[in-house]
């Protein structure tokens, strides 16, 4: 862990380089993280940030033999529970700067996308957590106490960078009336009561205003609806998303067809990939021209899935390839929950603490992946050549391309 030392000297060497390259503390200051008395915000931020990689919660650390060398429990919890800190501004600024660094190193032919998805932030055993609501688990059909962690990220199919998120609650939940209405915490609470499509549009506006750029917005079937598609297209972005087989209607020569009827009207696709079945150009009731591609369900061979796009210039193969990038956000959710112990590190009741700790976990994934990549880059070229010469051809074919440098 870290001691009370100034600057970046308290960080491990693996994280110190990431902090310096990404200018994390600079974005923290620009977001208004300041204190008049006591330990600085930079020190407390680094303390909690490093704690994520030790697989130990704050209580266990204070109970250990080194607990006397760390600040008291109240100092950390006051920092995480503060309503005036702009955690969203910090995350969006840091994410946008990371995107610009990554984008400058990638080819112009590579597609960059925004990805929107939600994941459950579970607190099923809690009773007094602020704005906690009951949501239905569609896999089991039962209700649990949780939030909907609606997340916006950027990806180029190799690097995923989180840009923004919101912990959504139920519109019937009651807010804490004692919070200053001018604070960032009050605005986050107001946002938690809004519907998800409205929050998605706001997150995209903030990301575009901060300087993040992408060509497409990828969405799951829970969000691919005509009103949200229209809002995204109005901002100069194209949409690629899965379509749910419900009561949606598509216009073909003046007739309104359901998704099943649209599949019957679609023409078969002559493609080398057997999973691509049919494709058709149609129109949404709002007047937006779209292309719908039907692909075979992997686990249920007799069923099909539908993918919609507003970019009519794409081939059916490109539509499938770009939509496959959406899986990056699922890997991100798995990483922050399993490896960085989101939902388990701090068991606070305040909504501000949930926001602050979640924000700390998001950039931690970028630092973690960056340290792994640099560790691979330390292998010298000569050692890689000798290893390749002595190993089998099958092993050489699986050697990662970033394991040697010149």
Instruction: Write 24-30 long-range contacts (CB < 8 A, 24+).
Output: 24/94, 24/363, 27/90, 27/93, 27/94, 27/97, 28/90, 30/89, 30/90, 30/93
Return the sign of the alpha-carbon dihedral for residues 369, 375, 379, 380: positive
Task: Give the percent of the chain with pLDDT over 70.
Answer: 86
Question: CA–CA separation, 263 vs 295, rounded Å?
Answer: 10
176-201 average pLDDT score: 91
Residue whose structure tokens are 């602020």: 130
Q: Which helix (H) or strand (E) holds 161?
A: strand 160-168
Banded model confidence at residue 401, pLDDT cuts 50, 70, 90 = very low
Q: What is the pLDDT of residues 138-162, one digit of tens each?
A: 767 778 888 899 999 999 988 899 9
In the predicted model, is pLDDT for residue 267 greater than 80? yes
Res 368: pLDDT: 61
321-334 average pLDDT score: 94
Q: Which helix (H) or strand (E) holds 28?
A: helix 24-30
Our CA angle for 316, 322, 328, nearest 5°, is 150
Our CA angle for 75, 78, 80, nearest 5°, is 110
Return mean pLDDT, the chain.
83
Banded model confidence at residue 270, pLDDT cuts 50, 70, 90 = confident
Question: CA–CA separation, 321 vs 237, rounded Å?
Answer: 18
Banded model confidence at residue 391, pLDDT cuts 50, 70, 90 = very low
**Model pTM greater than 0.75?**
yes
Q: What are phi and psi of 360, to 5 degrees?
A: -65, -35
């Amino acid at each position: 862990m870290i001691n009370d030392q100034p600057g970046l000297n308290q960080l491990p060497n693996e994280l110190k380089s990431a902090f310096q390259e990404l200018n994390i503390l600079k974005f923290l200051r620009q977001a208004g993280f300041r204190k008049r008395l006591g330990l600085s915000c930079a020190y407390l931020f680094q303390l909690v940030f490093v704690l994520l990689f030790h697989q130990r919660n704050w209580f266990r650390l204070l109970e250990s033999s080194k607990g006397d060398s760390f600040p008291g429990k109240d100092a950390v919890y006051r920092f995480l529970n503060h309503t005036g800190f702009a955690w969203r501004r910090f995350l969006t600024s840091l994410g946008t700067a990371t995107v610009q660094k990554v984008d400058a190193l990638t080819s112009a032919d590579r597609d960059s996308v925004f990805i929107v998805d939600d994941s459950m932030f579970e607190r099923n055993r809690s009773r007094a957590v602020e704005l906690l609501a009951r949501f239905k688990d569609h896999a089991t059909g039962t209700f649990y106490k949780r939030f909907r962690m609606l997340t916006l990220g950027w990806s180029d199919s190799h690097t995923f960078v989180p840009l923004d998120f919101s912990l959504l609650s139920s519109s019937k939940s009651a807010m804490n009336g004692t919070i200053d209405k001018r604070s960032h915490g009050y605005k986050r609470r107001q946002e938690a009561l809004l519907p998800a499509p409205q929050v998605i549009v706001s997150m995209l506006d903030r990301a575009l205003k901060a300087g993040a750029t992408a060509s497409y917005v990828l969405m799951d079937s829970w969000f691919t609806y005509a009103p949200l598609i229209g809002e995204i297209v109005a901002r100069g972005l194209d949409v690629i998303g899965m379509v749910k087989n419900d009561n949606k209607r598509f216009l073909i020569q003046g007739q309104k067809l359901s998704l099943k009827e649209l599949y019957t009207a679609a023409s078969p696709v002559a493609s080398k990939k057997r999973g691509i079945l049919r494709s058709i150009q149609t129109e949404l009731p709002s007047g937006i021209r779209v292309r719908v591609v039907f692909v075979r369900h992997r686990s249920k061979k007799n069923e099909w899935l539908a993918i919609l796009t507003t970019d009519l210039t794409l081939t059916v193969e490109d539509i499938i390839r770009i939509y496959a990038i959406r899986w990056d956000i699922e890997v991100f959710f798995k990483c922050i929950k399993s490896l960085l112990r989101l939902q388990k590190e701090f068991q606070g009741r305040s909504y501000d603490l949930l926001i602050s700790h979640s924000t700390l976990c998001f950039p931690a994934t970028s630092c973690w992946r960056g340290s792994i990549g640099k560790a691979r880059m330390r292998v010298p070229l000569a050692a890689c050549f000798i290893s390749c010469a002595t190993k089998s051809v099958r092993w050489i074919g699986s050697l990662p391309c970033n394991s040697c440098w010149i």
